[in-house]
Structures are given as C-alpha cells and as structure tokens.
Amino acid sequence: MNWTDIEVDLKKKLTPKRFRHTMNVVEAADQLARTFGCDPDQARLAALLHDCAKNLTDEQQLDYARQHQLKIDRVSQNDPQLLHGPVGAVLAKECYGVTDAAIQNAIDCHTTGGKNMSTLDKIIYLADYIEKDRSFPGVETIRQIAETDLDGATIMALTNCICHVAQCGALIHKRTIDARNDLIIKTKNLKLK
C-alpha cells in the first residue's frame, strides 16, 4: 500500500483523536530522524503505522497475538492493549505490505521499549512520547533534551514511564526495564559481564 492508501485506511479505522496523534507522531519522527541521521521516509512510515492496531479491543489483541504466536506475558495478559505494538508490527507487514524489518521492530517496541533499541526504535518511542499534543509534567524537558541527545531523552522518557506506571499501582513491563538498563549500560559505558 502506498502512503495515501495507508493514511485513508487509518483515518477510517482510528478515532479522530488517535488519527491526529498519529499524524503528530509522523511530524515528530520526521524531525528526530533529520536530527539524528535516520532515514526520514523510514521514520515517517513507522510513525504512520505505529498505532495501526490501536482500534482493536482487548479480546482482538489477544486473539490476534495467539493466532500469530506472539509472546503474551503476564503484564500483557493483564493489559492486552500493551499488545498493540507487537500486533501492529504484524499488521504492518500483512495488511500494509511493510517488508522493512526495522520498521516492524520500531512499531513492535513503541509502547514498552525493548532490548537494544535501534536509532529508529528510539525515534518512534520518543516521537510517540513527545508529539505536540502531549502535555504531561516533564514533557517540555524531554523535548529539549531530544533536540540534541537521543539516548538521554529516551532514558528520561522510559524513566518517566516506569515512575508513572508504578505510581498508578500498575504492573511494569520487563521490556521497559530492559530498554532502560541497556541504554544506561551503553551510554555510561558500564563494563558488565
């Protein structure tokens, strides 16, 4: 599917608010890609499709994940909407014809983060977090850091996310902890065995 066809399809499937969010993420991802030396077309397509599974119900997320042998851990069992990343990655391939594994992976880990995030993964994670309609406390600081330091901004976003989820009394996803640990180990150059 070409860009216009995907956009038309998503406009039909997503709520107006979610569609607007999606287009804001495209804009933010484009900017981050230009700043951090990633292909803007690749970042824009990953951003366009990042929430393509967000219209599915909890039951549909679980069904789809089971049908495609996706891992359903305890945290996702409890909150099936966490699966919209991994499910979206499969939909991107099967429904929208995206063959680029880097794009699929960025969609896969956009909600929780993941192990050893690539530049594109970080860009989509961050763009989703700081797009212009986001207004939670601390977002302005992360936006500022994201102008020069992709790893620093991603670590801060992951930290914020973990604190917020913990504060709400909810379960914290392992992939988020892994993502943050990996980035801290890498950026601080910690020598660990």
Interface positions with Fe ion (CB under 5 A): 51, 111, 128
Half-sphere exposure of 170 (CA within 13 A, CB side): 15
Rounded CA separation 104/70 (Å): 14
> Which residue's CB is nearer to Fe ion, number 126 or number 155?
126
161: which 2 tokens?
């996310």
As measured in angstroms, the least distance from the Cβ of 12 to Fe ion is 18
Q: How far is CA 149 from CA 22, 29, 119, 142, 154, in A?
A: 23, 14, 12, 10, 9
The answer to whether the beta carbons of residues 84 and 51 sit under 8 Å apart is yes
> Which residue's CB is nearer to Fe ion, number 130 or number 145?
130
As measured in angstroms, the least distance from the Cβ of 68 to Fe ion is 18
As measured in angstroms, the least distance from the Cβ of 18 to Fe ion is 8
As measured in angstroms, the least distance from the Cβ of 108 to Fe ion is 11
> Which residue's CB is nearer to Fe ion, number 30 or number 51?
51
> Which residue's CB is nearer to Fe ion, number 51 or number 121?
51
> Which residue's CB is nearer to Fe ion, number 51 or number 178?
51
As measured in angstroms, the least distance from the Cβ of 83 to Fe ion is 11
Rounded CA separation 75/173 (Å): 6
Residue 37, C-beta contacts closer than 8 angstroms, at least 6 positions apart: 119
Rounded CA separation 30/42 (Å): 9
DSSP state letter for 171 = P
The answer to whether the beta carbons of residues 28 and 125 sit under 8 Å apart is no
> Which residue's CB is nearer to Fe ion, number 13 or number 184?
13
As measured in angstroms, the least distance from the Cβ of 132 to Fe ion is 13
